[in-house]
Amino acid sequence: MTENTGNGAGKGIKTREVKHDIKALDKAAEMAKSMKQAVVRTKDQIQNLTDDGQITPEEYAEDRMRYAAEDTASEVGHQTKKEARKAKNKIEDKVQRHHEKKQQEKLEKKVQEARKSTRQAGKAEETARKTSVKQREFGVKQHEARVRAVHQKKQTVKTTDASRKAIRQTAKSTGKAAPKTVNSTVKATRRTVKTAEQTSRAAIKTTKAAAKTAEKAAKASEKAAKAAAAAAKKAAIAAYKAAVVVAKAIASAVKGIIAAVKGLIAMIAAGGWMAVVAILIICLVGLLVGSIFGIFFSGEDTGSDKTMRTVVQEINTDYQSEIDSIKSSNTYDEVEMSGSTAVWREVLAVYAVKTNNDPENPQEVASIDDNKIQILKDIFWEMNDISSRTETKTVTKVIETDDGRGNVVEETVEETQTILYINVTHKTADEMAAQYGFNDEEKQQMAELLDEKNRSLWAQVLYGIRAGDSDIVEVALSQVGQVGGQPYWSWYGFDNRVAWCACFVSWCANECGYIEDGIIPKYAGCVNGVQWFRDRDQWIDGNEEPVPGMIIFFDWDDPNGDNGPQDGLSDHTGIVIRVEDGIVYTVEGNSSDSCRQKQYSVGYYEILGYGAPAY
């Protein structure tokens, strides 16, 4: 079978023409056969009619019936063959169309592949053309560069030759024109050089003498400067110590400064310029102690019974007593606490500005006395408020019991419970500035105190933490009584309340600078905190005895509660403050939604382990 692969693919197939010829031949054969049968029948009829015996009606009827039957059989056979041929032709047409379709699809696929190959070849050709152009351009540039280099070299040679010729010509002319002048010039030059040498030797001698004198003077000045610097350092240290010691009252500070000034008058009279520097340092320290910045000296132990740190702890105790009083005066089944107290830095900043700028009775804030303690307490309670209420409601509980045969029986019961709600609200430093009517200068002073650069100074005042200390305990203890955890989870970056025990530990570490130094991680999930210490081989098992400053992690055994049974994963964290007589004492955030001191026996089964920071 042949096919035309042009645009009319499939139309030139000759099989169909052959098939039409076969149909024509079949039809002609059928017609010939029918005619033959008709002639035979006619011949029979004529034979019957010409028979001597004549045809009887019965014979005629028989002949008609026989011929009719033959005609019918012949027609049925013809029709059957005709239908069979039609069916066969349909099948052959269908097969032919399917074959033609497949051939067409193959042809189209080959055409597409050819087009794709052509496109790819075109792209490759274009890339090769661009590369060739770039290579030609690069070759042209190289050729131009070589031409320029050769040209420059020729120019340089020409210039050099011309210069040489000019030099030779000048030398020749000069040599012929003035040999006598040259000789006389040489003699004069020699005399000048000799005079210059004599003058130079004299100058060198004078310079050496001056240098020796200057060196002696410099050594004397250096010695005097060192002595003056040492004296200044001692004076400054003494002044600072004196200022701290007399920080109990501004009057005592002034007396100390006056005494220091009198002690230096003799030095001034003797011409000791360092005495003036010492006086300036003392005055500056005195001014600093007497200003709002004196609050940063309030944590120093000046020999009195109290420092700012002890006063803050005392006020925290009063706050916790107020919470306990509310609980003891109410009957309840559960307690739900919310809110938080003001941040202590803000409380002390408001106290320093208000006390130091009081128009009726301005006072320094470097020292502590009963009057100032009362002022601080009043400000604390103006910034913090505690409210409470009780609410009774019916709750549905499922109680599980044993039926005595080892089967658990669940029973749903309704219980009436009384819930005590305790809410703590606080005002910010800005709100207190508005309440006290601070002017712009006083607001600026408060902003300076609360600047982030002073965080380490606040840590020293509030917690006694100095650079190099490894004790986070004081920071944690200062937070006992905080409710709701807002200062901790908001500092961490959360917009809403979360389980904040890990945020509390991270906050305490940050107050000491331990997060920045990589000593303790910033973590909000207890599991992450455990992994951090384990990755650094700073982990000890819960059966061992810890030391203060370690981070404690718990795995609660709470099969029916939110934490589930013990699974080796931490559920809670806190800070170890001390270990005595086999008891581990801790401070933990989010313990009944507050900061609390807790205690456990060493090796308590719910203690997962301890993180051991490399302080």
Query: 401 is written with which tokens?
Result: 């019991």
Percent with pLDDT over 90 in the chain: 27
Report pLDDT for 323: 87
Stretch 102-127: mean pLDDT: 74
Question: How far is it, in rounded angstroms, from Cα 278 to Cα 261?
Answer: 9
- Say whether pLDDT at 427 is over 90: yes
Q: Which residues pair with 597 in a beta bridge?
A: 587
Amino acid at 103: Q
Q: Which residue has the higher pLDDT, 150 or 609?
A: 609
- Say whether pLDDT at 3 is over 60: no
Stretch 281-289: mean pLDDT: 63
Query: 570 is written with which tokens?
Result: 């931490």
Report pLDDT for 449: 93
Report pLDDT for 547: 86
Question: How far is it, in rounded angstroms, from Cα 279 to Cα 287?
Answer: 12
**Residue spans per domain, the chain:** 15-147, 206-290, 322-454, 465-615
What is the DSSP secondary-structure string of 300-311?
Answer: S--SSS--HHHH
Question: How far is it, in rounded angstroms, from Cα 521 to Cα 506?
Answer: 7
Query: 461 is written with which tokens?
Result: 């005042």
Q: Spell out the residues 6+ positions from residue 267 whose beta carbon is closer than 8 angstroms to its own.
A: 274, 275
Query: 87 is written with which tokens?
Result: 């069916």
Q: Which residue has the higher pLDDT, 84 or 542?
A: 542
Question: How far is it, in rounded angstroms, from Cα 608 to Cα 540?
Answer: 9
Q: Which residue has the higher pLDDT, 531 or 98?
A: 531
- Say whether pLDDT at 354 is over 50: yes
Q: Which alpha helices (H) appear in 246-339, and where do they start and end?
A: 250-269, 274-290, 308-328
Q: Which residue has the higher pLDDT, 421 or 405?
A: 421
- Say whether pLDDT at 484 is over 50: yes
Stretch 316-322: mean pLDDT: 86
Q: pLDDT of 225-262, one tens digit each?
A: 555 555 554 554 454 444 444 443 444 444 444 444 44
User: b/e map of 545-572 (b: 16 or more CB within 10 Å)?
Assistant: ebeebbbbbbbbeeeeeebeebeeebbb
Phi, psi of 406 (to 5 degrees): 85, 5
Highest mean pLDDT among 143-152, 182-191, 305-314: 305-314
Stretch 333-341: mean pLDDT: 80
Report pLDDT for 411: 83
- Say whether pLDDT at 143 is over 50: yes
Stated as kind and residue range, the H or E segment containing 28 is helix 15-50
Q: Which residue has the higher pLDDT, 73 or 535?
A: 535
Helix, strand or coil, per DSSP, at residue 385: strand
Q: pLDDT of 508-540, one tens digit each?
A: 999 888 999 899 999 999 999 999 999 998 998
Q: Which residue has the higher pLDDT, 545 or 552?
A: 552
Q: Write down the mean pLDDT value for the chain.
A: 74
Count of residues in the chain: 615
Question: How far is it, in rounded angstroms, from Cα 606 to Cα 564?
Answer: 13
Question: How far is it, in rounded angstroms, from Cα 532 to Cα 535?
Answer: 5
Report pLDDT for 457: 83
Report helix, strand and coil shares of the chain as percent, to nearest 5.
Answer: 60, 15, 25
Cβ atoms of residues 393 and 385 within 8 Å: no
Of 604, 483, 473, nearest in space to 548 by CA? 473
Highest mean pLDDT among 66-80, 340-354, 459-473: 340-354
Of 593, 312, 342, nearest in space to 475 by CA? 312
Report pLDDT for 339: 76
Question: How far is it, in rounded angstroms, from Cα 236 to Cα 279?
Answer: 9
Report pLDDT for 391: 93
C-beta neighbour count of 242 within 10 angstroms: 20
Question: How far is it, in rounded angstroms, from Cα 483 to Cα 425?
Answer: 10
- Say whether pLDDT at 369 is over 70: yes
Cβ atoms of residues 549 and 575 within 8 Å: yes
Cβ atoms of residues 551 and 529 within 8 Å: yes
CATH architecture of 465-615: Alpha-Beta Complex (3.90)
Question: How far is it, in rounded angstroms, from Cα 45 to Cα 40?
Answer: 9
- Say whether pLDDT at 196 is over 80: no
Helix, strand or coil, per DSSP, at residue 578: strand
Report pLDDT for 245: 44
- Say whether pLDDT at 13 is over 80: no
Cβ atoms of residues 36 and 130 within 8 Å: no
Query: 106 is written with which tokens?
Result: 């193959």
Q: Which residue has the higher pLDDT, 214 or 346?
A: 346
Q: Which residue has the higher pLDDT, 301 or 54?
A: 301
State the pairing for strand pair 408-426/334-339: parallel
pTM tops 0.85: no
Number of H helices, E strands in the chain: 15, 9
Report pLDDT for 244: 44
